[in-house]
Structure 1
């Protein structure tokens, strides 16, 4: 998929975006509305049960956030080990994280990303790519 086994950097970027999603869900007041709908059989009049279910779901989201963040570092280190330079792994991981985070934000949380946000994201990714190519050029001339 990616040259030099940069698929590990791609997975690290996705894991970072998922870690952000689960982190947001673990402390999100929106769970107060969603959790009772998830458990159809829960008695919506029993506030203790609903609070307990919310606590359980938040705990699961928190654990998933920790797991995703640990997998980010695991896959990122693998990407660094499999490439000649840290720059390609950084570019792929960062670009994937930005784009996937935006997609999750739009789909899951109804966040709005405008032209300015996408322009800034593209400029950051282009800047990282230019740095990466500049480092390759400098390494070839040495």
Structure 2
């Protein structure tokens, strides 16, 4: 079964939102930048630069990447709204993907352990979004709305 364009675009928007959060953490946090800087210096990648210069460059790249990923996220999300059957469907998919990718990036890039409380909270938010979608009539309600519009 092929995924719909709206569903795929919503997932990609969620991925970009999670990436924006990751680079924002790098841009605003000195600890991760310092460890990256030490790694660069240990591997003799930039012999003439000291850690202060390297950290400024890494923070600037992270800061600019944050704007890039946020712009991509909004572009993909708006496109997904055009292809999904409802805006709620796009929002649910985008939010779910954002939670999922944020958890993965936090674990594998930053070594963060997510508590059971986090997983329960994320699950409740997604469940709430699904209930909102179900309450708004879902696909059936959207089809009825489209039929009324075409008359």
In 2, distance between residues paired with 1:25 and 1:18? 11
Deviation of 1:141 after TM superposition, in Å, equals 7.2
Specify whether residues 37 and 115 from structure 1 end up closer, same or farther in structure 2 by C-alpha distance, changes over 3 A only: same
In 2, distance between residues paired with 1:5 and 1:90? 11
TM-superposition CA deviations, 1:89-124 (whole Å, max 9, x none):
000000010111011111111222111111111111
Specify which of 37, 62, 67 is matched with residue 39 of structure 2.
37
Deviation of 1:3 after TM superposition, in Å, equals 3.3
1:90 alignment partner in structure 2: 91
Question: Which moves more between the two structures, 87-96 or 110-119?
Answer: 110-119
Is residue 2:89 matched to residue 1:124?
no
Alignment root-mean-square deviation, CA:
2.0
Question: Which moves more between the two structures, 109-118 or 15-24?
Answer: 109-118
1:50-129 alignment, distance < 5 Å: 50-129=51-130
In 2, distance between residues paired with 1:100 and 1:4? 19
User: Does structure 1 conserve the Cα–Cα contact (< 8 Å) formed by 2:13 and 2:73?
Assistant: yes
Please report the TM-score for the alignment, with normalisation by the length of structure 2. Answer: 0.83
Tell me the number of residue pairs that the alignment of Structure 1 and Structure 2 aligns: 139
1:6 alignment partner in structure 2: 7
Deviation of 1:49 after TM superposition, in Å, equals 2.0
In 2, distance between residues paired with 1:12 and 1:29? 27
User: Does structure 1 conserve the Cα–Cα contact (< 8 Å) formed by 2:15 and 2:101?
Assistant: yes
Name the SS of the counterpart of 1:6 in structure 2: helix
**Structure 2 unpaired stretches of 5+:** 146-151
Deviation of 1:33 after TM superposition, in Å, equals 2.3
Name the SS of the counterpart of 2:137 in structure 1: helix
